[in-house]
Amino acid sequence: MNTRRLAVPARTPIRTVALNAASSAALAPTLAPTLALTLALTLALIAAPLAAPLAAQTQADSLLDRAARAVASSRTLRAAFEQSLTNPDLRETRTARGDFMQQGPSKFAFRFSDPAGDAIVSDGTAIWVYLPSSARGQALKLPIAQGAQLDLITQLLTAPRTSYRVTEGPTDEINGHSVAVFVLAPRSPSAPFTKATLWIDREDAVVRQLEAVEPSGLVRRIRFRDIRTDIELPRDALTFVVPPNVKVLDASGLLGGIKP
């Protein structure tokens, strides 16, 4: 396995490096550099807030808290996902699909079925971005510290009222499930997204859908189905083995020069 350091100017933000380094064949070349990796980097809101009576607000607030507690207490999670990414400037939308698995905040994987073979894997030590559909013959290795931005659900549902300004949007329905819509605006100006929307199942407090608008204007929607928690995951689900003849672009030194 050949490994070489990825040279990046010191002033380049880690998020920008990640966006430029990762890509997915699910998008046209103009969109590819931002699809797969930022699958977990950014979330945003397009639904407008809707005023609600006090009793309804109290019920919805409790639902958001339930969702946060469920994420904190879950041992593992597995779900099928479908992501659409829209570039408003090009008026173009592309879609990717696959399987999402997670064990705690530091181990997770997005394994794509379309485009087949692409993967983003955090093994607890490093984050691997392997996208042969658009970057054949190479894999990007990122520092584990980047995982906090890649894990969308945990990021949004860890103390959401402290980290975000939360308002309630209109009630909606997804795949036959009645959902409450929550708009999250980050309090920190350094957040990797401008706004976020969560569609939370009103019955079991499961996140059914996320939507994001990146600072660049790209709009991302991720819908989950077949959601299962506290199950046994495949043994190799959260590990990444570098395929033969694949070069590793090592970006592990981007955060303070620390290599995982």
Residue 155 lies in a domain: yes
Q: What is the CATH number of the domain that holds 7?
A: 2.50.20.10
Residue pLDDT, tens place only, 130-183: 999 998 999 999 988 765 556 677 778 888 889 999 999 889 999 999 999 999
Q: If you ran DSSP here, which 8-state letter would residue 221 be given?
A: E
Query: For 93, how many CA atoms within 13 A lie in the half-sphere containing its CB?
Result: 9
What confidence score (pLDDT) does residue 129 get?
A: 93
Number of structural domains found in the chain? 1
Query: Where is 222: in which H helix or E strand?
Result: strand 219-229
Residue 255 lies in a domain: no
User: 27-31, 141-145, 214-218, 250-254 — which is least confidently predicted?
Assistant: 27-31
What confidence score (pLDDT) does residue 189 get?
A: 86
Q: pTM of the entire structure?
A: 0.70
User: 50-54, 202-206, 229-233 — which is least confidently predicted?
Assistant: 50-54
What confidence score (pLDDT) does residue 76 get?
A: 93
Farthest-apart Cα atoms in the chain, separation: 61
Report how far residue 212's alpha carbon sits from residue 220's, in angstroms, rounded to the nearest whole number.
5
- 201: pLDDT strictly greater than 90: yes
- 44: pLDDT strictly greater than 50: no
Residue pLDDT, tens place only, 108-120: 999 999 999 999 9
- 17: pLDDT strictly greater than 80: no
Residue 260 lies in a domain: no
Section 185-213 average pLDDT? 89
Report how far residue 138's alpha carbon sits from residue 175's, in angstroms, rounded to the nearest whole number.
37
Residue ranges making up the domain that contains 164 = 3-250
Residue 258 lies in a domain: no
Query: For 126, how many CA atoms within 13 A lie in the half-sphere containing its CB?
Result: 21
